[in-house]
Structure 1
């Protein structure tokens, strides 16, 4: 998913289901990174509902019955949405029943008078004690022939209902607003740096590498690397502008920068670029008083501090306004 964000810069990503156990499931970290990059993240039905419930405080949007049950605490276990399924050549067809579907089906059967409350609880209890790949209706309904006859028409598939609900919201551009969460910081951990996408600019990697190679040849890379590091740190640690404030920064960027240097940015990428610039200015403003000392420390790192200090202390000449030469002493 992170590669998708880096390459295509989508406005919205919706997660419904996913593969796990034999391959890594969609990672919380990559969802958080997508959120920080300005992508609207939504989830429902299965793994999408789990991740949305876990990441609601960070701005992920959830929808549907399963998500609401997870948020309320009615459901707490990942196995509630887990199913065994066939491979891609079979369309990932499920071969077991999801626990959330069993619960919903039992509620429907109880409401329809097909079974009583005790029987419904017995089926649910048996299913919950069964490992998720083995949850199948024939075994669960063996003691309830009336329920078995009713199932073909009465079975509830709440996961499918929730998936359709989310797709309907997306088609109508009617996703709920992200919950108002607290400000949070995305930590660039060692694990994340090892797997994060190599390029955030949307350019082909070969073209990015060619530009960086030229900068190294010209001796400009290290200076630009330090400036870029400051830009990224500022973008992750300072509040990004939104609404009218972001619009003002977009207008300012468009006014002051050459059109050719912005030509490959679409509207969303331009907004992210302007927001990064706002963070950089905010960071520079906040630390302005400490910059002289930091500049001197940078000279130490470059091995230029002693020479610069000696030159500043030594007598030197300068030209006065009349064009004559005079000697000054820096005290």
Structure 2
């Protein structure tokens, strides 16, 4: 995995992507989270969001971008979906550049359809088959500035294009009733989105420093349920199964299963530390767990491991007062309650009841 990843679709052709940038298709929900969940050696350090999917496929989630930022990954956006998300998350450290981003921040651009285009599939390089409204506006403004059309004509054509559904915004339909514009257009279309995308790629190639994280990423139940697992076994199916088989022979596997289940439930329903508290738990884990048992964890995985342990300790503390009754319930389930009660009566007498 390259250190720099860019989600690019119809805004730029592949030939327009500089060397050193790994190109991925338009971003969808979960794509950034999966990158962040990779081991440190494969995780990108810079992510440029340009194009994204929507409508039939869930769009990239704000929470996964926040997760990337909280893990020290630089994330920037421009041109299309990237500009929209950057404007929404600027206060959290996502970087936005370009005209589209500036228009969203200022409130001059409020409709998502301003940047939307219809495009072909990956086999055709996501080539656009319609024109973005922001590019139509810029092109018509240039035509007016050059005296090709009047201000009234420009306003009328903008309104006409805006009434069209975004896949139907094509110059032949927009300019068909204005011959002078139709003759002027070839080679003169303005590409605001493309220019913004190139600006972002130039920025990310400079490997900017991510902004310090001064906020806490809340580990909500929904986020825990939907994010990718931050730590895989790293063993592969064959080695994992062989290891578990060996464990079954040497240890009490049912006890391990119950302990693991408790750990998983705790991480889903109890708060996990962040910031200085998390750093303290990492040091506590390093002090109590043999280094050999932690050596295959990178920094992110070690933090997740420590946060899970903190949640487990919190969960145990929360139910401590209820443990005696729960232990009796477990004895009943195992058919051992009456046995222990009988032994107690025989050894101590009824005065202990």
TM-score, length basis structure 2: 0.67
Number of residue pairs aligned between Structure 1 and Structure 2: 310
Secondary structure of residue in 2 paired with 1:219: helix
Q: Deviations over 1:2-31 (max 9, x none)?
A: 54444456355443213455x624453883
8 Å Cα contact 2:46/2:207 also seen in 1: no
8 Å Cα contact 1:61/1:178 also seen in 2: no
Cα deviation for residue 96 of structure 1 reads 1.3
**Please, which of 75, 92, 95 is the counterpart of residue 129 of structure 2?**
95
8 Å Cα contact 1:114/1:147 also seen in 2: yes
Instruction: Give yes or no for the alignment of 1:254 onto 2:289.
Output: no
Cα deviation for residue 263 of structure 1 reads 1.4
Q: Deviations over 1:236-275 (max 9, x none)?
A: x525322x55444434433332222121222333333344
- Quote the Cα distance in structure 2 between the aligned partners of 1:230 and 1:58: 33
Cα deviation for residue 59 of structure 1 reads 4.8
Cα deviation for residue 97 of structure 1 reads 0.6
Which residue is 2:5 aligned to? Answer: none
Which residue is 2:8 aligned to? Answer: none
- Quote the Cα distance in structure 2 between the aligned partners of 1:140 and 1:262: 63
Secondary structure of residue in 1 paired with 2:300: helix
Q: CA RMSD in A?
A: 4.3
Q: Deviations over 1:82-137 (max 9, x none)?
A: 22223333322212111122223334444555543322222211111122222122
Q: 1:250 to 1:149 in 2, by over 3 A?
A: farther
**Please, which of 288, 302, 308 is the counterpart of residue 270 of structure 1?**
302
8 Å Cα contact 2:84/2:104 also seen in 1: yes
Cα deviation for residue 186 of structure 1 reads 2.8
Which residue is 2:231 aligned to? Answer: 200
Instruction: Give yes or no for the alignment of 1:168 onto 2:197.
Output: no
- Equivalent positions of 1:273-312 (< 5 A) are 273-281=305-313, 283-284=314-315, 288=317, 290-297=319-326, 299-301=328-330, 303=333, 306-307=337-338, 310=341
Which residue is 1:15 aligned to? Answer: 49
8 Å Cα contact 1:45/1:162 also seen in 2: yes
Where does structure 2 lack aligned partners over 5 or more consecutive residues?
1-30
- Equivalent positions of 1:1-331 (< 5 A) are 1=31, 2-8=33-39, 10=43, 11-20=45-54, 24-28=57-61, 31=64, 34-35=67-68, 38=71, 40=73, 42-52=76-86, 56=89, 59=92, 61=94, 63-64=96-97, 65-111=99-145, 113-148=147-182, 150-152=184-186, 154-174=188-208, 177=211, 184-188=218-222, 197=228, 200-201=231-232, 203-206=234-237, 207-208=239-240, 210-211=242-243, 218-233=253-268, 237-238=270-271, 240-242=273-275, 245-281=277-313, 283-284=314-315, 288=317, 290-297=319-326, 299-301=328-330, 303=333, 306-307=337-338, 310=341, 314=345, 316=347
TM-score, length basis structure 1: 0.71
Secondary structure of residue in 1 paired with 2:156: helix
Where does structure 1 lack aligned partners over 5 or more consecutive residues?
318-326
Secondary structure of residue in 1 paired with 2:221: coil
8 Å Cα contact 1:63/1:162 also seen in 2: no
Q: Deviations over 1:145-182 (max 9, x none)?
A: 55445545543322223323333343334366489778
